[in-house]
Chain A
């Protein structure tokens, strides 16, 4: 990536000794040939050493370690709510296909799906934080505030978290709902559903014991793929709400040409996506008795 970090650290127009720049490039190891740099990077990454952030001037691991928990909390809470709510609504919508519930929930889902994440965040801030003054406009806690009790502290934290969580939940909800609805509609044409009805099961039993378990399978697979998109959603949400997570850190690292940090962040993104896919595979073996782990 172009843009010399040494030039970012020493602002333009400052007259410095050229030997300082040379020493600086030497210190960060960016004076070596690209191939050597790549080799060093791979070797060090294998030892879980992600290098030294140009901007924060601390090891990359420390910077990411400090910001990652915030993102995990935000994404974790929103995705659990979105998946549960999405699957539940999608199942009912698919079951009552073409009826009012289906039309309303599908239209709602389509609207939130078509919405840019950052725009939803802006609208929520404008309405609830600026106009109504209910929620803080950003951050994770009120600055300089000394809390009387731990409950007050948790309350303050929750108030800061609520709008970002709502934003991320709404934009990911639709995807989960549509996946569930469409696979349910697909499953309902299968013969075993007819058999279940023919042997006198109630509609609830057919839905709960025969249709939903089968519709869950493709849904879980698609969730794992959708999680790659959540990284982008989280990035936008964090920027809008000035929420100190790795999404905002990524954006700042690009701004400051902090390559070492950026590489570390991409590594973490990749690890998180792989863990999520792995988790989806494990969940799959639980809900599908035909798949057995060896």
Chain B
């Protein structure tokens, strides 16, 4: 056990040595950690109660008291921005977990069983790869909401974003499994009597795992964007504070026509930075695991 830990630690420090030399990767990690810190410390750093409605302070542009101004309801937008970080990260991370589990499982099966099951799963992956996912997500969320389940809408959104976002993971895993399963160690494992499941999870999965990780980070970026879009379209929980909901209310209260740029710009910029952060990490891990993509010093 201890030896394993030491080995793991050494492997990680080796990875970190390469990673920290990647400027894009460090920038991305910095951005993501920044938002995680804000989400974790929201209760301490937000100057006002984000839900407090105060009619005496509506439509105020940014000033020294309300750094990001106030909205039509009199909410402090700076505090709303801080709390909104939590929803984006929760949905992003949990939806990605669902996508990873589904995508990895289907990718493993599709690659390992080349015959009928593999062929069938490959078609399923292709189907989900080209399906217009936004209309699908909208319909799924609408269905769950109309069913009036006791499940909170936030979890419905997480579930829907998760089960529509696994196809690219499955495709990448499948193509990797196809090549890994031809290697000798798989044959050896089979020769000593290992079961299919054991070969898949103990021998093949560890070899494709770096790719799963790179893909997971990119999937978070997509999930964050999906959540914002669903919230914006009014399909999320209108009582939560999220960047998408801020934009939803901004548009429905004609912030555009009143020129209330302070209500519209911060959520958009925050989304760009967060999505960019995850994307940069994903690209860097991909670059490191695929040396052909590695730049000279980019």
Contact = CB atoms under 8 A, between A and B. Distances in A.
Given A2-B146, A119-B271, A98 B297 contact: yes
Given A228-B133, A254-B138, A116 B232 contact: yes
A182 to B, nearest CB: 7
Nearest to A276: B130
Interface stretch (A60-68, A123-131, A199-207): A123-131
A228 B268 contact: no
Given A1-B142, A116-B228, A186-B293, A235 B130 contact: no
Given A182-B293, A228-B129, A118 B271 contact: no
Contacts of A103: 298
Contacts of A273: 130-132
A114 B257 contact: no
B138 A126 contact: no
A119 B269 CA distance: 10
Nearest to A131: B259
B280 interface: yes
B40 interface: no
A277 B130 contact: yes
* Binding site secondary structure of chain B: helix
A185 interface: yes
Interface string B265-298: 1011001110110011000000000001101111
A236 B244 CA distance: 13
A185 B292 contact: yes
A278 to B, nearest CB: 12
Contact of B264 (A114, A126, A186): A126
Nearest to A114: B275
A130 B257 contact: yes
B272 A111 contact: yes
Contacts of A97: 295-296, 298
Given A2-B143, A126-B256, A114 B132 contact: no
A114 B279 contact: yes
B186 to A, nearest CB: 27
B272 A115 contact: yes
Interface in B54-92: none
Interface in A87-112: 97-98, 102-103, 110-111
A262 interface: yes
Interface in B173-195: none
Interface residues of A, number: 45
A292 B268 CA distance: 47
A175 B49 CA distance: 40
B147 interface: yes
B233 A3 contact: no
Contacts of B268: 115-116, 119, 122-123
Contacts of B19: none
Nearest to B278: A114
Nearest to A250: B135
Contacts of B279: 110, 113-114
Nearest to A255: B142
A123 B264 contact: yes
A273 B275 CA distance: 27
Interface in A120-151: 122-123, 125-126, 130-131
Nearest to A247: B135
Contact of B133 (A116, A229, A266): A229
A236 B134 contact: yes
Nearest to A117: B229
A251 interface: yes
Contacts of B139: 1, 254, 262
B276 A114 contact: yes
Interface of B: 129-135, 138-139, 142-143, 146-147, 221, 225, 228-229, 232-233, 247, 251, 256-257, 259, 261, 264-265, 267-268, 271-273, 275-276, 279-280, 292-293, 295-298
Given A110-B280, A229-B133, 19 more contacts: A2-B143, A2-B147, A110-B276, A110-B279, A111-B272, A114-B225, A114-B275, A116-B268, A122-B256, A123-B268, A125-B256, A126-B261, A130-B259, A185-B293, A225-B130, A232-B135, A251-B138, A269-B132, A273-B132
23 contacts: A1-B139, A1-B143, A103-B298, A113-B279, A114-B225, A114-B273, A114-B275, A115-B268, A116-B229, A116-B232, A116-B271, A122-B264, A122-B268, A126-B259, A131-B259, A182-B293, A185-B292, A224-B130, A225-B129, A231-B132, A231-B134, A250-B135, A254-B142
